Amino acid sequence: MKAAEKRIVIGVYHLSRSFGKYFALQDINLQVANGEFVFLVGPSGAGKSTLLRLIYMDDFPTTGQVVVGPYVSTRMKRSTIPFLRRRVGIVFQNFRLIDERTVFENVALAMKVTGAGMSEIKRQVTDILARVGLYHKRYDYPPVLSGGEQQRVAIARAVANRPAILLADEPTGNLDPVVTKSILELLFKVNAAGTAVLMATHDIDLVRSFGQRIIYLEEGRIVRDKEMIFVGDLRERLPDSKVSRRADDLEGYDISGEGSGNGVERGPRE
């Protein structure tokens, strides 16, 4: 078991974001390393969504800065935002799929816009749909899918370009507990393959049992950043997981999108 090289994939430094006189976020400092799985927890209105938007640079800080791989918020040009987005997968509570495109096309779109070739797209999308268990529904349109299935498509789309980072904003917010578990499982699977995951949720009970790093956000401030206790494939932590736990379920993703390597190798602590 070799120690994985640790790299910071998300850095947030002295960040504040105000809307008029109201501070949605205040003096936020945090770093996320490659291959980490971090929960961002806080009550409604704490600023979770705002923080994620600042990370994928749909919004910019009032003061301070956000660094995502080679992209720095204070030096960002509008024309380079698309290239940041290709290295950051994003998943929302409301799935945000395009209704008039099939499951396959929804996932393929993320690759198409990068100028990827047809054969590569076909191979990769087929592969990913198989991994999220929706290959048999590839010709269906999102409106006929269940919420859980739609979210799987959204996750498939988010990881289609093998991103270094996956941001998930209440990805289980619209789903029942059973489906919630399966979506979490899928996110753990993505993480096990080497993608750093930052998942926002207001459901503290949901995330407490995994021993993962949890950042508590309240009224725009980080009130606690709990160390990671458990190191390893998080799926082991899910009760009666039916998914194979082999870490090569999803092949390792190139974390930073710049170096080589297959992400982080991890194992349970001795």
Partner 1 sequence: MNVNAMRYLISESVLMLGRRKGSNIISIVIMGLSLLILVVFLLVTLNISRIIEATREEHRVYVYLEDGLAQNVSQAIQLRLLGSEGIEEVIFISKEEALARFREALGENRDILEALEENPLPDEYRVKLRPELIRSDFMGRMASEIEGWDGVEEVRYGRRWLERGETLVRGFYIVDLCIGAIIFLSVIFVISNTVRLMVISRRKAIDVMKLVGATNAYIQVPFIMEGALQGIFAALLAVGLLVLIYLFGTRYLSGLVFLDPGAVVGFIVFCALLGALGSFTAMRRFLKM
Q: Which residues contact 157 (CB under 8 A, 6 or more apart)?
A: 89, 97, 106, 107, 109, 110
**Hey, how many other C-beta atoms are within 10 angstroms of the C-beta on 267?**
10
CA 115 from centre of chain: 23
Q: Which region among 77-85, 131-139, 188-196, 235-243 touches partner 1 (by CB under 8 A)? A: 77-85
Report helix, strand and coil shares of the chain as percent, to nearest 5: 35, 25, 45
Q: Which does 24 bind (CB under 5 to 8 A by kind): Mg ion, ligand ATP, partner 1, none?
A: ligand ATP
**Contact flags string 43-82 toward ligand ATP, x per CB under 6 A:** -xxxxxxx--------------------------------
Quick one: which of 9, 34, 37, 42 contacts ligand ATP (CB under 6 A)? 42
Nearer to ligand ATP, 81 or 144 (CB): 81
Binding mask 39-58 for Mg ion (x = CB under 5 A): ----------x---------
The burial of 178, by beta-carbon neighbours within 10 Å (0-12 exposed, 13-18 middle, 19 or more buried), is given as exposed
CA atoms within 13 A on the CB side of 64: 21
- The least CB distance from residue 234 to ligand ATP, in Å, is 22
In the complex with partner 1, the residue whose CB is nearer, 103 or 207, is 103
Q: Which among partner 1, ligand ATP, Mg ion, none contacts residue 245 (Cβ within 5 to 8 A by kind)?
A: none
Choice between 114 and 209, CB closer to partner 1: 114
The site for ligand ATP, by CB under 6 A, has a size of 11
Instruction: State the minimum distance, in angstroms, from the CB of residue 159 to partner 1.
Output: 11
Residue 50 C-alpha from the chain's centroid: 15
CA distance 69 to 88: 10
Among 33, 97, 168, 199, binds partner 1 (CB under 8 A): 97
114 binds, among Mg ion, ligand ATP, partner 1, none (CB under 5 to 8 A by kind): partner 1
**DSSP codes joined into one string, 178-207:** HHHHHHHHHHHHHHHTT-EEEEEES-HHHH
Within residues 194-223, the interface with partner 1 by CB under 8 A covers none
29-68 binders of partner 1 (CB under 8 A): 56
Measure CA of the first residue to CA of the last residue in the chain; give whole Å.
11
- Report d(CA 242, CA 235) in Å as an integer: 9
User: Is residue 240 a contact residue for partner 1 (CB under 8 A)?
Assistant: no
DSSP string, 28-55: EEEEEETT-EEEEE--TTSSHHHHHHHH
Residues at the interface with Mg ion (CB under 5 A): 49
